[in-house]
Structure 1
Amino acid sequence: MDDTDDDSRRFSWQTAQQRAAQGDSRQVADLAVELTDRIDAATRRTRDHQHQLAMLIRVLAITPGHDSLTQLLRLFVRQQGHGVDLAPRFVASLLAEHREAADLVGPLSERDPAGRLDELRMCLFHELVLRGVDMDAFPKTSDWTRVRYGGHPLAWLPRHRSALETQVAFPSRSVNGSARSVGVTLPTEGRVDPPTPRTGEQSALVDSATLDLHRMIIAAPEAGRWGDSEAWVFLLDEEVEPDRVPALLPTLPMGCVEGLGTTGRFEIARRPADAIWNLLFVTASMGGMYHGGAHGAYGRLWAWKSLAALSDAPADASPEEVKRHARQTTWFHFESDAEWFHNDAFTDYGIAALSPDRRRIAVLAATDTD
C-alpha cells in the first residue's frame, strides 16, 4: 500500500476515537496491526538502503583519484538535515588507509562554514597521526581539530604520535572485504608464570574500583563491543615488588580467576607499556568478532583512557602525564582457564597494572565470547 492522504486519514487519531466510540474497537486494532506491519517493512527497507549506502561510500573512499574524493565529500556536505549517518569515523579510516595525506588535505580543507566536515576531519587527523604522518607539515590541517561547538572527545588526544603508539596494527580493507589481525596472544618472552601448585589461600584484599573508574578501565573493550569485560582495583597495605604479582593475582577476589584452583592454567608475562597500549588499541579500534570496532581515531582515544585508568593517572591528566604514569607502571598480560574466560582462540586476555608506588593493582579482563 502506498502512503497517500487517504491513508493518513485512515490512521488519524480522530478516526480512531470515532470508531472506538462507535464500538468498533476491532477495526482500530486491525489498523494498528496493519501499521505495525508497514513499520516492519519500512525498517527492513531502511536497513537495506543503509547497507547499500555503506557500500557506495566504501567504493568512493577506496577508489583512487581526485574525482571519487570530491564526490564523497559532496555527500557529507549535503547530508545536513537528512538524518543519514555517513559514518565519518569509518570513512576517515578508509581514507587514511588508501590515500596519501597530501591528496586529502586540500579537498578536506575547503571552506565549510556549516561544519559538515568537522567530524570527518577530526577523525582523519588522528588516523593520519597514528600512521606516522607529521601533520605539522600540512598547515591547513591546523583547523581540523579546532573545537567549533564546545568540547569534542578527540580534542584531548596528542597532536603527534606518542612513543607508546609506534607499533600500531590496522585492518586491511578493499571494496569487497577486509582482513585484520587474528586476535591477541600471550607472548613467550617475559614469561613469569608462578610455579604450581599455587597457594590455595585467598587474599583478603577487597575491590575498591568506583563505578566511574570501572567504566574507564573497560573503555577499550566496551568501545570495541567485546563480549564481556570486567575491572578490579586493589589497594595494598604495603608495597609489593613486581616479582610477587604473578603469584598474588590468582588469589585475588576476581571473577576472572574464580574457580581456578591451585593447578589450573594461569600464564602471565611482563609487558612494556607500548605493548599494553597496542593491545588496548586493537581491542577498541578493530572490535570483536561480530563488530567493526571504533576505528582508529576513537580506538586511539579509548586505548589512552583505559591505559590512564589502569596506571592510576589523575582523572584530569594530560596525554603526557598518562604516558609518564604508564612508563612508570609495571604491566602484566595474563591468561587463565578460569570459567570467566571462554578460551576460544585469541579472544581472551587479562591486563594487570602495578602502580608506580607499588601500592595499587588494577586489573582488566576481557573476553570476546559472550
Structure 2
Amino acid sequence: MSDLGRPTWSQAEQRAAQGDAAYMRELGEQLADRHAEAVRQVQECERQLAHVVRVLALTPSRDSLGHLLQLLDEKRPSTGHRPLLPLVASLLAEHHQVTDLAASVFDRRGLDHLDELYVCLFHELVLRGVETDTFPALRSSPRVRPPWHPLSWLPAHRRDVESGADFPSRSINGSFYGVPSQLPVEGRVDPPTPRTSERSALRDRATTDVQESIVAAVKAGEWGDHGAWVFMLDEAIAPERVPALLPTLPMPCVDGLAPTDRFEIAVRPLDEIWRLLFATASMGGMFDSGVHGAYGRLWAWRSIAGLSGAPAGASAEEVEHRARQSTWFHFEADTDWFHGDIDSDYGIAALSPDRRRIAVLAATDTD
C-alpha cells in the first residue's frame, strides 16, 4: 500500500484474486483522495492563471500586449468551461487603444495559434464603433474574417441597430454588468382586463431548426430556462391585435394566466430587441459570464433571424431587412413559468411582415 504512485492492473487483479477486498477498498480510497486533491490543485492553478491573463489583458501598454500574446500563443492556456480567447478579445477591446491593438496584435507575425483572438477582437472593435477601414491591418488582413469561421457571417461594419450594445465594465478585481430586460414605460399596449379566458386554437408550428435559432442567444448566455413557439395565422392580423392574442396562445410561459393577472406588453423598435438579445448572450445569466461581444453579436442575430422568419441560409443583410419589416413586442407576465425577478425574465414576440406569423421567445434566468 505504500507505493501508490504506480498501482498496476496486475496488482489489483492479484489482490482481488487473493480475496483481499479490504486492500482494494483502501487503495480506492487513497486514489480517490489523491484525485480530489489533484482536481483542487488544477482548479486553483486555473484561477491563478486566469487572473494573470486578466491582469495582462487589462494593462494598457504595448509591452503587456506583447507578453500576453506570447503567453497565449506558446502555452495556449485553458482557464474554465468557456473558451479563453473570446474573453481576452473583449478585455483588450475595452481597455486598449485601437492603434496599439492594430500594431501589436493584427500587425504581429509568427503567432500561429491565435486565429480565434484575431476574429473575435475584430468584431469586438466593430461593435464599439471603431472604423476598421481606417486601419490597414484590420481592413486587409485575411485573419480577421476567414471564410471558414462562423463569425464571418456577420457584417464587417456595425449596423445601426447594433449601436446601442451594452458592454460590461471590468477591472482587475471585478466586473459590473446587467441585462436590460425590464419592460419600458414607453410603447405600452397592455390589453384591457379582464382578458378572455378562452384559449386560442392555434398550434405551435416551430421546427427544431427554427426553435434552435430563436433561442440561440438565451442558450449561449446559459439562462435558466427558455421556450420558443411559432404560430401560423389563418389570416393577416393588425399589430394592434397581438397584445390580446398572446396571452391566449398555447405556451407554457402563459399557462395559468388568469383574466386579471398581470400581463404587460410594449411595442419595441428592432434595435432595443437586438440590444436585449445581445446582452443575454454576451453577458450571460446570473451565474455565467456569457460568450462576450463577438459571439454575442452572432447569437443575437441568429435569434433575430428565427423570430423574424428569415429563411435558412439568409445573409445578415437579408435577416436585417426582414427584421425591420417585422413588428416587435416585449412582454412580461405573472405566471409560474416567469418568476418576476428584476432583469431575469422576458418575452419577445415578432409579427412577420405579411402579418400571418407570430414567433415567441420566452426566457427566465431562474430555475
CA contact (8 A) 1:125 1:144 kept: no
1:289-368 alignment to 2 at 5 Å? 289-368=286-365
1:30-109 alignment to 2 at 5 Å? 30-80=26-76, 87-109=84-106
Measured after TM superposition, the shift of residue 8 of structure 1 is 4.0
Aligned to 2:214: 217
In the alignment, the residues of structure 1 paired with residue 153 and residue 37 of structure 2 have an alpha-carbon distance, to the nearest angstrom, of: 43
Per-residue CA deviation, residues 275-321 of structure 1 (Å, 9 max, x unaligned), is 11011001111111111111100110100000000000011010000
Question: Residue 203 of structure 1 aligns to which amino acid in structure 2?
Answer: S
CA contact (8 A) 2:329 2:349 kept: yes
CA contact (8 A) 2:266 2:331 kept: yes
In the alignment, the residues of structure 2 paired with residue 29 and residue 216 of structure 1 have an alpha-carbon distance, to the nearest angstrom, of: 50
Unaligned runs of 5+ in 1: none
SS at match of 2:265: strand
Aligned to 1:268: 265
CA contact (8 A) 1:266 1:334 kept: yes
CA contact (8 A) 2:123 2:294 kept: yes
Identity of aligned residues (%): 59
The range that moved more, 121-130 or 183-192, is 183-192
SS at match of 1:92: helix
Aligned to 2:204: 207
CA contact (8 A) 1:90 1:295 kept: yes
In the alignment, the residues of structure 2 paired with residue 79 and residue 143 of structure 1 have an alpha-carbon distance, to the nearest angstrom, of: 24
Per-residue CA deviation, residues 11-70 of structure 1 (Å, 9 max, x unaligned), is 111211222222223312321221111111111111111111111111111112111111
In the alignment, the residues of structure 2 paired with residue 98 and residue 328 of structure 1 have an alpha-carbon distance, to the nearest angstrom, of: 37
In the alignment, the residues of structure 1 paired with residue 348 and residue 294 of structure 2 have an alpha-carbon distance, to the nearest angstrom, of: 22
- For the pair 1:135 / 2:132, whether they are aligned, the reply is yes
In the alignment, the residues of structure 2 paired with residue 167 and residue 84 of structure 1 have an alpha-carbon distance, to the nearest angstrom, of: 30
CA contact (8 A) 1:255 1:340 kept: yes
Per-residue CA deviation, residues 93-117 of structure 1 (Å, 9 max, x unaligned), is 0000001111111221322363x11
Alignment counterpart, residue 232 of structure 2, candidates 235, 239, 249: 235
Structure 1 stretches of 4+ with a deviation exceeding 4 A read 82-86
Measured after TM superposition, the shift of residue 146 of structure 1 is 4.1
Measured after TM superposition, the shift of residue 153 of structure 1 is 1.5
Measured after TM superposition, the shift of residue 227 of structure 1 is 1.0
SS at match of 1:351: strand
CA contact (8 A) 1:236 1:360 kept: yes
Task: Output the TM-score relative to the length of structure 1.
Answer: 0.94
CA contact (8 A) 2:46 2:78 kept: no
Question: Residue 34 of structure 2 aligns to which amino acid in structure 1?
Answer: R
Per-residue CA deviation, residues 222-241 of structure 1 (Å, 9 max, x unaligned), is 11111111111111111111
- For the pair 1:176 / 2:160, whether they are aligned, the reply is no
SS at match of 2:337: coil
Number of residue-to-residue matches in the alignment: 362
In the alignment, the residues of structure 1 paired with residue 319 and residue 263 of structure 2 have an alpha-carbon distance, to the nearest angstrom, of: 29
Measured after TM superposition, the shift of residue 213 of structure 1 is 1.4
CA contact (8 A) 2:50 2:79 kept: no
SS at match of 2:236: coil
Task: Give the direction of change, closer, same or farther, for the CA distance of 1:70–1:113 in structure 2 (3 Å limit).
Answer: closer
Question: Residue 38 of structure 1 aligns to which amino acid in structure 2?
Answer: R
In the alignment, the residues of structure 2 paired with residue 238 and residue 176 of structure 1 have an alpha-carbon distance, to the nearest angstrom, of: 56
Aligned to 1:280: 277
